[in-house]
Amino acid sequence: MTMSSPRFLTVFDEPVPPLTAPGVVASGIDPAVQLVDGLFRGTDLLGRVTNADAMIGLKVALPAGTGSVRVVVTLAMDDASLEWWDERVPADVRPRNAAGTRLLQVLSQGEFRAATLITRRRSDHGRETRSVVEFEVAASEIEDDALLVVELRSRPEQVPSWADRAVPPYGAVGVRVDAIEVIPQTTEPVSRTGHLAGGHVPTGGSGEVEVRSGLFVANPGQTEPVWSVRAVVRPPKRRARYRRRKPWRVRAKRKAKRIGKELLPAIAWPAARRGLGSYRGMRRRLAGTPVHRAADPVLTPRLPSVPAKPKRMAGSLAAAALADLVAARRITVAGFDTGTGAEVHVASAYAGGGRFHVRPVGILPAPVLVGIWADPARLSVRERWCRRWLSWRLSHGPAAEPLPPRPAMYTPELDPDDPLTNQVVLSGLLGGRTGGRIRLPAGRFPVSGLVIGPGWTIEGDDTTLVQPIATPEPMLHVVGSDVTLRGLRLELPPSSPGPHDGAHWTAITVGRYLYAEEPGWLTGVRLEDLTVRRDGRCAANSVTVIGAVSDLRVRRLSVTGGGTGLMVHWGGVGTSVSAISGPTYHPHDLAIDGLVVRSAFEGFCLSSVHDVVVRGVHCGGVEIGFRLLAGDNADRYHLLGPDSEINRRITVAGCEIGWSGDLYAIRVAGWGRSEVDGLISRRDFEDLQLVDCRIIPLPVGIGGRSSRSVARRPLVLEDAGEVDVSGISLVDKGEEISGLDSENG
Amino acid sequence: MAMIPGFTEFCADANLFWRANTIPAVRSDPVVLVEAMSQDIRVTIRNLTVANALRRMVPARLVVYTGSDEDWNDILWTYFDKGVLTDLARAYGAVDVIDVHELVDRRVAGTGPDALVVAGVRFPAELPRSGIAPDVLDQIVSATTCRVLRVPRLTPQIKAGAKYRRVRHRSEQFSHLYDALVSGLRPIAVVSSHVDYDHWGLAVESAQRFDVPVVHVQSTGGLKAYTLFPDRCRGAQTFRAELTNQIAEYFEKAVWPNRHLLRRNAEMVTWRSKGNLGRPSWWRGGTAASLELRTEADRRVVRRHAMSRFGFDQAKPVIVVYNHAVSDALNTNVEVFADLGDWFEQTAAYAAHRDDVNWLLIDHPQQALYDASGFFDEVARRHNAHPHMAFRPSTQVSKNVVWSLVDLALTVRGSISNELPAYGIPAIQAGWSEWSSCGFTKVARDVADYWHLLANAIEALLAGLPLITDEQIERARLWAWFYRSGTDVNSSLVQHWEMGQNAALFRALRVVMRNVEPDADPAFTAVRRMWARREPFLTRFDLSQPGQTLADTISVLAPPLGAAIEAVTA
């Protein structure tokens, strides 16, 4: 780096007495606090932030052999924090919400370390609301004779609109820095990841973090995080009385005191270390000694969860109303990157008992601020009234389960001729155990109607399974999570399914179309290196993924013949398609990589799903390449209704369609007609990416039917919202067809 | 202004004190013309004290001119009180107190008074036309209009507007009036707290044309004043430009040769300045204005944070551009660009295509008092697409952060160009200031030279070459000492500026006037020294003393200084 060499020292400068680690600085006039920026030094606390960003430079002396330093920063808000924000934040800064949740990013030695929140409640009036941030810095990052710098930064200027008011800009202004503790370690720094901040410490006795105002910050951890959020009813309590504004004499005195302090030059501060007492008291309190407050409902351990079903709870109308709200999942969850303000997609899944599992879609590169709320516009009057008593408790979600001991491996012997024997052998294995590994022998074996529960891996070794006669039951029906089907060739006869039979007559079905009651989600299914061959073209789907299915991966699936190669479809609670009672379930978080479909009616179809990535599709001689549909009822029966994620974030990248149909090669339709009442629902696609989709028109070949259309349209868009079709191209090798236009009907 | 307790009693004591401490004057004696047009009573106390110190040497009558107008009441004054200033002037021995604003307003309105009588001299109702050069009048009218409208420059619309016409009309009348007063009264000196704009500047302009010494008393510190004696002037284009030359000459003659003796004192001022002690009265206080960086290592770690905060490339040097209060006394000293705003805009435009360095552009902390046009924000908007440029109001950045970054500072005449070099950080000036010829900054001769200096400096920064020498650092520290100590007279007859204007000030002054024998009061000896030697400023002590005597005066006798004294006296 090129820089000039300033000369700041004079003969009158004396050495700064450093803080000897381990030690605490809890007063701004401690000489070890050599430098501040955007901070007003305090006497009984380290200081109070005056600007959007603030810095503290501590002179520290580390004992020999220090490998790293643990730095514990104690931050707080009190009543003055609000006044300071109002007084010091430039008047043109909007929104003005001094009482909002303060988002703070903590940096040290030029590097980002953690983010935290402070959310002050009215009931905190007269005491402070605290947040503690801990991180470790390698000793090598602190140059000899230099400073340990701790910087606080406010939120980015631009954040999603839902957070703009709740988490005001200039959030650091008025925040107290109570103390910084420096603890040397002999080891290399341990990265303290995954820290959760709900707006206030302590967290209570249960290990759960209280999520104030429905906002929490999660710092990145080493694994893909899952957070468990539990709804609790905070009983109505006596309103805190507002304190009247201090009389002008008191205010004037305070101001005079402040000005007086400003006049005290940095170089003249005495070495007094006052204020340690209050800091130590606070540390004691944090260390577990109960806070001496009578029956603080916020901090009492384990508040009862919202009951799963609406019922009256001991006189609490609120609980009943909120139970309905939560169980019906009319709760929205969203997040943003605390460093950039960019939206972070957060998925939530209801886990029953008033508990959600929330997780970011993808890995978490930076801390994320997550908001949980119920949109008042969609609430009943009673729910709106009771909403204030709904509160959340946060903990780390179920950790990725440790790998079970290597599952039992079964190598059953199959009969090359007798389907019944094979059925008995395989069903016996699958039915009697809770998962395992089945390795099928090489050869060709008749099999039909296997139901595969959770935890099973079925692998082939040059194995072909043949369905002797067509049956409505899927050849392989996956009904449990964490199932892998790998290296199998499945052969089926032609079949003639009726309408709404998409989950039947298939080679593989994952999930269900109709449920009698609310199902659990089926996750962790892997379909790899599978070949499905059906003699001739028919209406039956080859592989169907349907209903409450998420986190499914399909790799290298090859389909010949039949209806749709891969059908992904919504499912729901109800007795029939025309008697859906809801809720409906929509497959999501799916990755399909390598799909080859030949001589079939259709390559693939996604109906009413979200968060899907399809890559590397090759279709040859298909009447339709693929369809993206909103589903019969779109979001009408989804628990979150319009707030659901349906039709969001769908990517089709790299898709070659040898198109022999007479209608269209690709159809994107943002509407559906309900089989329940005939109503038409609409739902736009959002963040739909169609990349490198090439349509190669072939001579029409539609299985002997007569052509239904005079003009073939490669692409049909119907009420799909804004769709970028620039990634779709037409590779003209065949007959004259109409241009690549679309119709909106 | 609400009457401050103790003021009446103070006036009584002052009257007694000054009658005893000035030479009685009769009608035939000349006058001293003293300005009393600031609302701050500390300013007028300083003016009157200097005038009375002159009246200890020369029998002269005190004539005070005062008043205010709607423009200044609008933009600056909040408690201007002519009555208080008049009482004060009378207490200090004024034989006449005239309201020049009122006189001008009546003449502008065509309700001119009958003949005016000042200090026994009768002036006709129809005053003769001023002899001011038209371009000088134009310049003062423009600077005044910019100031009262709070805009960086005049547009054709403004020039066609009523405000401009009013300022021009009044300025002409001010010039007629001041010409008449100066020529009619033949004052021995004009004492003024300001030398710019219509009502202050035109009095100074008239005095200079009629070869009357002008004492420019400063509103800071103890008692600070610059003086231009007509026989010492060499025809520089403005009062301040003339002063720049004379200051430099004195600095070379009396300060630099004594650097060995003064080194420790200069070091002390430099050290105190880090904690913002001894700062000029208009500087910002508070912790954000303290410099707490000590070492290169300190600067490196804070710089990493600061660079990331502004989104700068860590590998590139940083140039900081210090915007001025854009309508402040335009063109009252040499400026290379057309105006202060022009310099800032052109520098920002240059910065936009020099992305090999980072640019931090800082607005003046008092800009709201000087600009109503949103000038800084407008320039910032023009360049907001450039990640290598950051615009910030000064109030939002601390000195620690800015100084961790700045590798080169750009200014026209800002005091930052003294401050930074004192700590080894180079500065380029696009205009003159009091210290600009003292050799510690690079001063552009013209616009082309400015770009040349800037381009060369950037090349040096990129090559890691130093842009400032040890001698320049020493000169900057010596200037800091000279400004804050050498030319600041600590007289109890004015009390330090930071005493404020309150009952305590009057009590302290009364204690002095009632209880302290006035012999050799520093105000008297300093004014006498300046007057007798025709030096351009008040000095705290005689810098021309031989080495040992000087060392005795400043009470330094540390061992290494023995050799230093010999070096000076040899």
Residue A90 C-alpha, separation from nearest chain B C-alpha, in angstroms: 10
What average pLDDT does range B514-543 have in this prediction?
96
Say which range, A10-24, A357-371, B211-225, has the weakest mean pLDDT: A357-371
Interface contact flag, B403 A6, Cβ < 8 Å: yes
Q: Judge: B300–A143 Cβ closer than 8 Å, yes or no.
A: yes
What pairing do the DSSP bridges indicate for beta strands A68-77 and A129-138?
A: antiparallel
Q: Report whether pLDDT(A436) > 80.
A: yes
When mean pLDDT is compared over A211-215, A579-583, A679-683, B502-506, the highest value belongs to B502-506
Whether pLDDT at A304 is above 70? no
C-alpha distance from residue B513 to each of A647, B13, B23, B501 (Å): 88, 7, 17, 17
Span A285-297, mean pLDDT?
Answer: 38
The whole-number average pLDDT for the span B423-432 is 97
Q: Which of A1, A8, A340 to mutate: most B Cβ within 10 Å?
A: A8
> In this structure, what token pair is assigned to residue A523?
């996750």
Which site among A5, A10, A177 would you substitute to test the B interface, given the most B Cβ atoms closer than 10 Å to its Cβ? A10
Query: Which residues on A lie below 8 Å from B304 (Cβ)?
Result: 109-110
* CA nearest to A670, candidates A641, A635, A637: A635
* Long-range Cβ contacts of A190-195 (<8 Å, 24+ apart): A190/A68, A190/A136, A191/A136, A191/A222, A192/A114, A192/A134, A192/A135, A192/A136, A193/A219, A193/A220, A193/A221, A193/A222, A194/A218, A194/A219, A194/A220, A194/A221, A194/A222, A194/A225, A194/A396, A195/A114, A195/A116, A195/A133, A195/A134, A195/A219
CA–CA–CA angle B244, B247, B253 (5° rounding): 140
User: Which residue among A12, A38, A146 sits closest to B295, beta carbon to beta carbon?
Assistant: A146
For residue B270, the chain A residues in CB contact (below 8 A) are 10
Least confident of A1-10, A230-239, B11-20, B557-566: B557-566
What average pLDDT score do residues A689-716 get? 79
Range from A82-96, A310-324, B190-204, B532-546 carrying the lowest mean pLDDT: A310-324
Q: What are phi and psi of B133, to 5 degrees?
A: -70, 140
Which residues does chain B have within 8 Å of residue A143's beta carbon, measured at their own beta carbons?
A: 297, 300-301
Cis peptide before B156 (omega within 30 of 0): no
- pLDDT at position B557 is 53
pLDDT score for A234: 65
End-to-end CA distance of chain A: 62
List the single residue in B with minimal CA-CA distance to A259: B286
What confidence tens digit (pLDDT) does each residue in A618-675 have? 999 899 999 999 998 888 888 888 888 899 989 998 899 999 888 899 999 999 999 8
pLDDT tens track for A523-560 = 889 999 999 999 877 889 999 999 999 889 999 999 99
Nearest chain B Cα distance for residue A193, angstroms: 22
Contact B424 A4 (CB under 8 A): yes
Q: How far apart are CA B405 and CA A326, in angstroms?
A: 52
Give the one of B272, B275, B407 whose C-beta lies nearest to A3's C-beta: B407
The DSSP line for B344-391 is HHHHHHHHHT-TTSEEEEEE-TTHHHH-SS-HHHHHHHHTTT-TTEEE
Using CA coordinates, name the residue in chain B closest to A59: B298
- For residue A472, say if its preceding peptide bond is cis, omega within 30 degrees of 0: no
Residues in A closer than 8 angstroms to B466, CB to CB, are 4-5
Reduced DSSP (H G I as helix, E B as strand, rest coil) percent helix, strand, coil of chain A, to 5: 15, 40, 50
Question: Which range has the top average pLDDT, A353-367, B271-285, B310-324?
Answer: B310-324
Q: What is the ipTM of this complex?
A: 0.91
Among candidates B287, B294, B315 on the partner chain, residue whose Cβ is nearest the Cβ of A9: B294
Whether the per-residue pLDDT at A742 is higher than 60: the answer is no
* Interface contact flag, A4 B407, Cβ < 8 Å: yes
Out of B293, B407, B423, closest to residue A35 by CB: B293
Q: Which residue of A has its CA nearest to B263?
A: A11
Q: Read off the pTM.
A: 0.71
A229: confidence class by pLDDT, cuts 50, 70, 90: confident
Q: How many CA atoms lie within 13 A of A207 on its CB side?
A: 4
Of B286, B297, B315, the CB nearest to A145: B297
Question: Mind telling me how many Å the CA of B71 is from chain A's nearest CA?
Answer: 26
Q: What are B417's two structure tokens?
A: 């160009």
d(CA B358, CA B462): 11
Q: Does pLDDT of A352 surpass 80? A: no
| Per-residue pLDDT at A321 | 65
Could you say which of B304, B423, B467 has the minimum Cβ distance to residue A7?
B423
Q: Is pLDDT above 90 for B158?
A: yes
Which one of B271, B316, B408 has the shortest CB-CB distance to A13?
Answer: B271
Average pLDDT, stretch B417-431? Answer: 97
pLDDT in tens, B101-121: 999 999 998 886 678 999 999
Q: What is the mean pLDDT of residues A194-216?
A: 78
Cβ separation A34–B292 shorter than 8 A: yes
Cis peptide before A583 (omega within 30 of 0): yes
Q: Which of A18-22, B287-291, B497-501 has the lowest mean pLDDT?
A: B287-291
Answer whether A12 sits within 8 Å of B407, measured CB to CB: no
Candidates A16, A34, A37, A143, partner chain B, best to mutate (most B CBs within 10 A): A37
**Of residues B293, B294, B466, nearest to A5 (C-beta):** B466
A493 to each of A506, A532, A557, B508, how far by Cα in Å? 10, 11, 19, 112
The residue whose two tokens read 């580390």 is A62
Residues of chain A neighbouring B459 (CB-CB closer than 8 A): none
Q: Which chain B residue's Cα is nearest to A262?
A: B286
Taking a C-beta distance cutoff of 8 angstroms, is the pair B518, B491 a contact? no
pLDDT at B421 over 80: yes
Which of A72-86, A149-163, A427-441, A667-681 has the lowest average pLDDT? A427-441
Chain B residue with minimal CA distance to A261? B286
Q: Would you say B486 and B543 are in contact if contact means Cβ atoms under 8 Å apart?
A: yes
Give the pLDDT confidence score for residue A507 in this predicted structure. Answer: 94
Retrieve residue A592's tokens: 């399909």
For residue A13, give the nearest of B294, B301, B426 by CB distance: B294
- What mean pLDDT do residues B509-532 have? 96
Please report, rounded to a whole number, the percentage of residues in chain B having pLDDT higher than 90: 87
pLDDT above 80 for A699: yes
d(CA B468, CA A562): 83
Judging contacts by C-beta atoms under 8 Å, the chain A residues touching residue B298 are: 8, 34-35, 57, 145-147
Distance from A430 to chain B by nearest Cα, in Å?
A: 58
DSSP B4-20: PTTHHHHHHHHHHHHHH
- Nearest chain B residue to A32, by CA: B292
| Closest CB from B301, B403, B468 relative to A110 | B301
Smallest CA–CA distance from B393 into chain A, residue = A90
Nearest chain B residue to A258 by CA: give it. B286
Position of tokens 């109800």? A574
Residue A310: exposed, middle, or buried by beta-carbon count in 10 A (0-12, 13-18, 19+)? middle
Q: Which residues of A touch B302 (CB under 8 A)?
A: 35, 37, 55, 57, 147, 149
pLDDT score for A364:
75
Q: Do A2 and B285 touch (CB under 8 A)?
A: no
Min Cα distance A247 → chain B (Å) is 24
Statement: residue A4 has pLDDT above 60: no
Q: What is the pLDDT of residue A731?
A: 84
What digits encode the pLDDT tens for the residues A26-49?
999 999 999 999 999 999 999 999
- Residue A194 contacts residue A221 (beta carbons within 8 Å): yes
Greater model confidence, A332 or B416: B416
For residue B295, list chain A residues with Cβ-Cβ distance below 8 A.
8-9, 145-146
Task: Tell me how many residue pairs between chain A and chain B have CB atoms under 8 A apart.
Answer: 149
CA pair distance A238, A626, nearest whole angstrom? 59
- In the predicted structure, residue B525 carries a pLDDT above the cut 70: yes
Tell me, what's the pLDDT at B560? 52
- What tokens does A266 get? 């940095």
Beta bridge partners of A667: A627, A716
Interface test with B, best of A12, A35, A40 (most B CBs within 10 A): A35
Test B473 with A7 for CB contact under 8 angstroms.
Answer: yes
The verdict on a CB contact (< 8 Å) between A151 and B305 is yes
Beta strands A456-466 and A508-511, pairing class: unpaired
What is the mean predicted confidence (pLDDT) over B168-178?
Answer: 96
Question: What ranges make up the beta strands (E) of A287-414?
Answer: 332-337, 343-344, 346-350, 355-360, 368-373, 390-396, 409-410
